[in-house]
Amino acid sequence: MDYEAHPDEWVFAGSRPAVIDFYTTWCGPCKMMAPVVESLAGKYAGKIDFYKVDIDQESELASVFGISSIPTFLFIPVKGKPSVQMGVMQKEDFEGLIDKIKIN
């Protein structure tokens, strides 16, 4: 998504689904989720793009997406609107959300 070119609407330019992990290095729940995200990124390599955004380093980007708590995950299908999930999740629940974006 190019939020500078399209500040008021979601225009996805990727070729496959994506997951964005908004985190900080000092966040305990973020550290708990890191191995889950890494494991699933490996499992879905080449099928789904995974990105990590440190909101302390990328505050403007976090603001654009309205990130107010961490961890926050943005699940982005190729078509349709992204969905947001905040907080710690079980690996199975996280994978269920991934399966939804693969279908869309």
53 tagged catalytic: no
Write 28-34 long-range contacts (CB < 8 A, 24+). Answer: 29/70, 29/71, 29/87, 29/88, 30/70, 30/71, 32/88, 33/71, 33/88, 33/89
CB 45 within 8 A of CB 36: no
Here the tokens at position 42 are 């490996």
**Of the residues 18, 19, 27, 101, which is catalytic?**
27
46 tagged catalytic: no
Residue with tokens 């990328």: 58
**Of the residues 1, 30, 36, 37, which is catalytic?**
30
Residue with tokens 């980007």: 61
Catalytic residues: 27, 30
